Amino acid sequence: MKKLVVLGLTAMIALTACASGEKTANETATASPDGAGSPKSAKLSLNWSVANVFLANVTLPSADKDFVKKAIEEKFNVDLKIDYMAIGKEYHDKLNASLAGGSVPDLFIAAGAESQKYISDGITTNLSTFFTPETMPNYYKWVSKEEVDAFQPKQGEFTRAIMPFQRNAYASWYIRQDWLDKLGLKPPANYAELTDVLTKFTKGDPDGNGKQDTYGFTAAGSGQSLPLDFPQWLNNGFVADFMIADNTFVDNRSDLKVQGVIDQVVEWNKAGIVDPDWFLNKSPAHVDKAAQGKVGMIFSTGDKTMALDSVPTSLQNRTKALNPEANWQPIYPLDQPVMWKNNVPENTILVSKTTADKSPDKVKRSLEILDWLTSEEGFLLTHYGQEGKHYTKSGNKVTLNVEAFDTDIAKAGNWLNVYGVFTPDEPRVLGLEFNDPRISEHDYAILKTIEDYPKHNALPPVSLIPPAGINIGDFRKEMNKFHIKAVLEDESGKNWPQYREELMTKFKGREIFTEYTSQLNASLKDKKLNDFK
Grade residue 302 by pLDDT with cuts at 50, 70 and 90: confident
Is residue 24 pLDDT above 70, yes or no? no
Pairing relationship of beta strands 107-111 and 347-351 according to DSSP bridges = antiparallel
pLDDT score at 154: 81
Average pLDDT of the segment spanning 223-230? 96
pLDDT score at 496: 98
Q: In this structure, what is the dihedral angle of CA atoms 504, 505, 506, 507, given to the nearest 10 degrees?
A: 30
pLDDT score at 83: 95
pLDDT score at 460: 63
Grade residue 267 by pLDDT with cuts at 50, 70 and 90: very high
Q: Which of 308-312, 384-388, 525-529 has the lowest mean pLDDT?
A: 525-529
pLDDT score at 316: 97
Asked if the peptide bond before residue 284 counts as cis, ω within 30 degrees of 0, the response is yes
Average pLDDT of the segment spanning 507-530? 88
| Count of other CB atoms within 10 angstroms of residue 310 | 17
Q: Residue 210: left if φ>0, alpha if ψ -120 to 50, beta else—which one?
A: left
Q: Are 160 and 153 in contact (CB under 8 A)?
A: yes
Ordered by where they begin, the domains of the chain are: 44-164+345-428 (3.40.190.10), 172-341+458-524 (3.40.190.10)
pLDDT score at 4: 38
Is residue 452 pLDDT above 70, yes or no? yes
Task: Tell which wins on pLDDT, 491 or 525.
Answer: 491
Q: Which of 34-48, 123-137, 478-492 has the lowest mean pLDDT?
A: 34-48
Grade residue 530 by pLDDT with cuts at 50, 70 and 90: very high
Query: Which percentage of the chain shows pLDDT scores above 90?
Result: 73
pLDDT score at 9: 38
Grade residue 461 by pLDDT with cuts at 50, 70 and 90: low
Beta carbons within 8 Å of 189's beta carbon, 6+ residues apart: 333, 334, 335
- Going from the C-alpha of 314 to that of each of 210, 303, 307, the distances in angstroms are 27, 9, 6
HEC letters along 211-272: CCCCECECCCCCCCCCCCCCHHHHHCCCCCCEEEECCEEEEHHHCCCHHHHHHHHHHHHHHC
Average pLDDT of the segment spanning 427-448? 94
Is residue 474 pLDDT above 50, yes or no? yes
Grade residue 323 by pLDDT with cuts at 50, 70 and 90: very high
Q: Specify the pTM.
A: 0.77
Task: Tell which wins on pLDDT, 44 or 33.
Answer: 44
Q: Which of 70-79, 362-371, 468-477 has the lowest mean pLDDT?
A: 468-477
Task: Tell which wins on pLDDT, 72 or 473.
Answer: 72
Name the average pLDDT for the chain.
90
Q: What is the pLDDT of residues 324-372, one digit of tens each?
A: 999 999 999 999 999 999 888 889 999 999 999 999 999 999 999 999 9
Q: Are 218 and 298 in contact (CB under 8 A)?
A: yes
Average pLDDT of the segment spanning 116-143? 94
Residue 299: which of 247, 208, 230, 385 has the closest Cα?
230
Q: Which of 39-53, 227-241, 317-331, 391-405 has the lowest mean pLDDT?
A: 39-53
Collapsed DSSP state (helix, strand, coil) of residue 290: helix
Is residue 34 pLDDT above 60, yes or no? no
Average pLDDT of the segment spanning 501-507? 97
Q: Residue 257: left if φ>0, alpha if ψ -120 to 50, beta else—which one?
A: alpha
Grade residue 37 by pLDDT with cuts at 50, 70 and 90: very low
pLDDT score at 11: 41
